[in-house]
């Protein structure tokens, strides 16, 4: 006999006038949007790797040698956008590219 009670509760809940909920925007979605627009102030390591086109070891090596300043906030390593641009555009840092033969 418990089944009809549950059905009535569901019907009553569905019949109430409810406003549609606004979509929930997550922090990740907001960050992805800012990245797409190029409005990010600081990059996380994964994002910096993608932007710079270098490997993780090379990035951490540059941080360790003081060539690329990095900051840690709440356990997340952040690299300021301007610092990353300066590092990537520095001619002394550029690696020779392989020429297709």
Place of tokens 């590219």: 97
- In this prediction, residue 70 carries a pLDDT of 96
- In this prediction, residue 20 carries a pLDDT of 77
pTM of the predicted model over 0.85: no
Largest CA distance in the chain: 80
Q: What is the mean pLDDT of each run of 10 residues along the chain (101 residues)?
A: 57 63 79 80 91 91 94 93 90 62 55
Place of tokens 């907001």: 30
List, in sequence order, every residue forming a beta bridge with 72; answer none if it has no partner: 77
Q: Could you state, in order of their start, the residue ranges of all structural domains in the chain?
A: 41-95
- With beta carbons less than 8 A apart as the criterion, state whether 63 and 70 touch: yes
- In this prediction, residue 51 carries a pLDDT of 86
Q: State the DSSP string of 43-61.
A: EEHHHHHHHHT--HHHHHH
CATH code: domain 41-95 is 1.10.1660.10
Give the Cα separation of 97 and 101 in Å (integer): 12
- In this prediction, residue 40 carries a pLDDT of 82
């Amino acid at each position: 006999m418990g089944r009809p009670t549950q059905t009535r509760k569901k019907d009553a809940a569905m019949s109430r006038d409810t406003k549609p909920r606004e979509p929930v925007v997550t922090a990740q979605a907001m960050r992805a949007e800012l990245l797409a627009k190029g409005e990010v102030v600081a990059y996380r390591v994964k994002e910096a790797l993608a932007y710079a086109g270098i490997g993780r070891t090379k990035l951490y090596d540059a941080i360790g040698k003081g060539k690329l300043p990095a900051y840690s906030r709440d356990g997340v390593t952040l690299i300021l956008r301007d610092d990353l641009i300066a590092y990537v555009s520095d001619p002394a840092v550029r690696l020779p590219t392989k020429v297709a033969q």
